[in-house]
Every structure is written in C-alpha cells, then in structure tokens.
Structure 1
Amino acid sequence: MITLKQVSVFTLYLIVFLIIFNLSNKYTIDNNILRDMQSVKLRVAIDRSRLSLEDPTLNYSGDEEALSEYLISLNGILVEQQSRIRLTAISSKALHAKEGEVVSVLTGTTHETYLLFKADNSHKLPFYIIPFILALLNFVLLKSITRRQIISRKTKNIAPVIEEKPILHIDLYSKALHLSNDKDIKVQLANKPMCFYLALIEYCEANPDASLNQNKELPDELLALADKYFHRLISLGHTIRKRPNFSNSLEKTLSEIRAALDELLANTPDLKAKYYPPKAHGEGSRSKLHSYALSNITLEDVEIIGK
C-alpha cells in the first residue's frame, strides 16, 4: 500500500528531475540555435557577393526570385540537419523581428546585411517522460533500500548499531557544504574557494604524498582541476565572470575555506584532520614552508553533488 509519505517523496523526486531536465534542455536548445545561426551567417557572408540584394545607392531593387531560391536551398539544408532555425529573409534594409524571430546583422561588407531567423526553442513534450522514469527508478530504489534496511534491523536487532562517521557533501547546485548526517546545517562558499577546495580534494586524493607550499607555484594539474569545476559552475548558471586567477591571494582563498569548515565542523572537530587544509605554524618566512595538502583525504570521504 502506497502511503502519503511515499507519494510526497516521489513528487519531490519528480520535481527535482523536471527542474534539472528543463534547465539542461533549455541550455542545449539555446546553444544549438546559436551554433546554427553562426553557421548560417558564415554561409551567407561567403555567398554575399553573388546574392541579388537590393542596393539603394545604385537604385537596384534586387532579384527577389533568385533570393527566394537561395533561401529555399539554404533552408532545405537546415531541414536535413534537423536544425531549429530557418532563415526567412535577407535584406540590405533593416529588418524587425516579431515573436519567435531573431534579427542578426552581417558587418564587414560594403553594406550591412540583415538576416531574419525564425527559431524554434520549444521543448519536445515526449522527452519529458525521461525525468518521470528517473524519478520512478530513484523512488523504487529508495523503497527497495528502505525495505532491506527494515528487514536487516529485524534480523539483527540484537547486534549493536555501529554509527558510521559522516562524510562531507559538496553541493554544486547550491554551492554549499554539509555533512551527510546533518543536512540542515549548510555553509555557503564563494565560487573561487569552492572550485579551489574541490580541486585540492581531487588532487590530494590522486597525489597522497604531495607537498603544497604557498611559496611555490601551484601545480598545473591542480589549476586544471580548479578550472574544470569553475566551468561546471558556469554551466549551472552560478556565474558568467571570467575564470579567476587561482594563484593569486592563495592565503585568502585558504582562509575562506577554513572559515567555512570551522563553522561546519564546530560539533565534529575530529573531522578537521581529514578535511581541513593545515594552517602554518610559526612566524615569518618559516610559516610559508608548511604544506596545506589534505594528506588524509580519499574520494570516499567526499560526495560531490552536481559534478
């Protein structure tokens, strides 16, 4: 028998997957439309010299029949490619877009050339079965796991319960940190320290004996990982800014990471040895000789949501 709680869980799954699918689908559609428009603009720019366009300076009205044949031919190629755009007009005079249309201008020629595109950015409704199936599979999986846990507890009710140590969850969708055993306490991180901390975790897991000193340049591999996570934040819509210089203000970046972990791990200080970038001890130049590498970290200690 399905309970109200189970219906609520399934509905939550469905909403989450619908949002993710819708955003991802919109991003893909917009990218495809922009790519195809750029391709058509390049094609028209190459063919511009032989197009029979009107020329006000020469009192030439153009050859509408030849231009219409060119549009039919070009749109035929777009149909074969299953493109979401159609080129509806080419003119030497300014064109005005209506709803669902886009005007683009070719420059660098004798006269500006205006292109009128009709873009189809609608979502195909049949594809929305995908988030429904994903939500259903996750619901069934959760129900199966819950059932096994109940059976296990019943058969091993005399066995002592061993509490697993919590692990760190890093959520790229909300740019927040929280522990697996307490999702109510979340700590936000800015883009730069978030990307650098993720890169530091992955780098140190792959290089457990690495020594990272502030008086030395950051390894290329570490910078590449930070770039990877920054581009992921861009794709999730968190920022449109240029990539930050992760080598600059390293101490400030580390301080922001430590401050967030201080807040998150206030009740579990024993976890600091694993997740906390070590601080320097001492004063002067010696304080920069320490390593801030995470020597005890593994990928099993961290779950990255939205990677």
Structure 2
Amino acid sequence: MSRKTGLLAFSIYSVIFSLVFVFAHERAIRHTIEQDLGSIKLRVALDKNRLPIADPQLNYAGDAARVQEYIDALNTRLHKDMSRVRVLSITTKDDQAPKEQILLSGADGDTAISYQANMSHNHWLYILPLVIALLNLAFYRSVSQKREQAKRQSATSLAAKPKPQHLVVDLYSKTLCLSGDKTRQVQLANKPLCFYLALLEFCLHNPDVSLNQNKEVPDELLDIADKYFHRLVALGHTIRKRPNFSNSLEKTLSEIRAALDELLTHQPELKAKLYPPKAHGEGSRSKLHSYGLKAQKAEDIEVIGK
C-alpha cells in the first residue's frame, strides 16, 4: 500500500468511525439523562409530602429555604454520582416555567421539577475513533502485505517448479536415465540401444508413420541406427560388425521395453511418449499394430555423446 493510498484510507476510516462514535455517544448521553431523570422523579415523589413547597392557589407560602436545602442536597448526590442532570427548582406546576421540567401528579396537584441537563460530549473520547481507524488501517495493511507475500511466494514456487523430466541416453556408458535422477540408470546392449535411438529420431520427424512388424523396417530408420552404431564403435564400445537391425525385431523391441519398464515405473506420462507400443489381443500381428512413437517431442530426449 502506497503512502498516498494509506493516507486516503486513514481519512475515510476516521470519518466513518467518528460519525458512528458521535451517533453512539449522543444516544448514550440521552439514555443516561433519562435514567437520571427517572431516579430524580422517584426520589422527589417519595419526599414530596415532607417538602414545604409554596402553593399560590392555596395561599401557602411554603418554606423556600428548606426546599432549596433539599435541592442542594439532591444536586450534591447527583454530582457525586457524576450525573449530567442538575435540579434547578421544585415548585407547583407553572405553565410559564421552562420546558425542561418533569411533572409529578398527585391528589394535591402537580409538582414541577425544573432541571438542567448537560448534553456536551467528552471531546477527549474522540481520540478513540482515530485509534480504531489506525488499528483498522494497520490490520488492512497487514492483510494486504500477507496477500502480496503469498502471491510472491506462489509466483516464486511456480518459477522454481522443477522442469518436467526427460529421457537421457548416454552413449559413453550406454545407459538410459531420467534427467531428475541420473543415479538410477539402466543399460542397453548395442543393438537395442542403437535401434531405440533411431526409432526415437525417426518418429520425431515422422510422427504419423505406421511401423508394423510384418513390414520391412524403413531404410531411413536403419540408416539412423547405423549412424548410432558407428558412433559406438568410435567410442570404443565394440569392434564387431554392424548388426542386422531388421532381424529379430520382436526381441529387440522386447529388450527396449524391458529397460523402459524398469526406468519409467513412476513416470507414466513419459512412458506414454517413449515406450514402443505393444500389440494386444487377437490379431496382435495384424497390419493395424504399430510400434512407432506418437507423442514424443524434441525436449523429451537428450543424447549425450551423439
């Protein structure tokens, strides 16, 4: 969150919380005053018969000094209780009296209690909305930072996600392994190794070709197998003459599949790309079956010593 955005958010929060606080504080003050007035009314009602309140209609002068002493004692108690109400006078009902008064009805007539209520707010309390606004802003910034951190961690984890494994064929050691675990290696003999490399390369450039065991192996595939065999000779792996890659094709494919079965046990997605399909069911030798590879891509294989 930028500084400008944070200042704007703080201003908005301050205004909202201040308005809510003013409204709530106003209601709390009025409620407190109503409770105090109820207590005053009850107290005066209990003491009314003992108060010498003047009554002009009955030509009764009363005792103003005693009534004032009672009012002073009552206000002292209200002050001690931190009440917002102060009693001004206790008289008989007077329609000309101030509106801020409560009436006590009785058999001897109505008694008016004039009072003054302090409606002022405690302004120092207005620091609370600002504190709440600051806390809310801090919470919001904390949540935003955690979200941003989670996004960065997610992006980092995606960026650091290991690349998909691919097949690594090492001509120096005549082994197959996976790029993610080069300690686990499977060896192949010269003939199946060269034929498998030729099959991979040939199918990569001819993905739609159909290779059937009942048909002759394509010359282009055989040429590629010869190329890899000569490379093995150059690396000193053999001095024998070139094998006939067209003979014993089923045995050659079986050796390739056995090696891949051992290597790709836990990588079915690679097995689907790099495993020469087997023929299944009745008519497995039919023209419909192809041992060619369909789904492989250039990045699925790496040849070392090519």
TM-score using structure 2 length: 0.49
Question: TM-score by structure 1 length?
Answer: 0.49
**Which has more radius of gyration?**
2
